[in-house]
Amino acid sequence: MKGFLRIRPSASVDGGPRTDRTARPEWTMLELSPEEIRSSFVNCPKGETRRMHLPTTMPLLDWEDTDFLGWVDPKAPNRAYLVVDAGEHPIGVALRLPNGNRTTDYFTSMTCSFCVTVHPAGGVRLFSAPKPGKAGRQGDTVGLYVCADLACPLYVRGKRESALIQPAETITREERVQRLRVNVDRFATRFLRSAD
């Protein structure tokens, strides 16, 4: 199993001042800065990575327990981002949500392909990731059905719960975490291979 992300603080996220760092000593364990996050993206122009808004709740997560970073841009709700650990360096994947596309809401429930959490309608969205390289510039994408809030690491650890009762599973929480990591790893491998 590969190593997993460790995020370290920088002076600010999105330029805002950090006044509460002393309250979060766990930040001293972190290793990836917002600047490194921005430079990790493989499928969107540099201009977008400069303009993207990092999640405002980032420092509230326990990064020791994070399998990947995932967030919807707080100021551009049709844009979302994943940063996965690819071993020696992180890989950022820009995701898109079609404007006004609510087709997934026709289903009464859907299952996240990363964490296998069952959500009510709208709790799983179809994200599309422009492929890396020329294929992506020509409009080719890879689809991904995952939790709309991209909070899979929290769901598998029982730190956030779906509104639906989950099907009974005999696996442990640790096994659910491992399954999530395998699923994310598979997606990242498939995505990188999708380049032209």
Asked if 155 and 147 count as a contact pair (C-beta separation under 8 A), the reply is yes
Among 32, 93, 95, 152, binds Zn ion (CB under 5 A): 152
Strand pairing category for 124-130 and 141-147: antiparallel
Among 30, 115, 144, 154, which residue sits at the site for Zn ion (rule: CB under 5 A)? 115
* Shortest distance, position 59 Cβ to Zn ion, whole Å: 22
- Cβ proximity to Zn ion, 91 vs 152, nearer residue: 152
Specify the residue, 54 or 115, whose C-beta has the smaller distance to Zn ion. Answer: 115
Which of residues 82 and 112 has its CB atom nearest to Zn ion in the complex? 112
84 sits near Zn ion (criterion: CB under 5 A):
no
Least spacing, CB of residue 35 vs Zn ion, in Å: 27
Q: Which residue is nearest to Zn ion (CB)?
A: 112
- How many residues contact Zn ion, by CB under 5 A? 5
**114 sits near Zn ion (criterion: CB under 5 A):** yes
Q: Would you count residue 63 as binding Zn ion (CB under 5 A)?
A: no
Residues that bind Zn ion (CB under 5 A): 112, 114-115, 147, 152
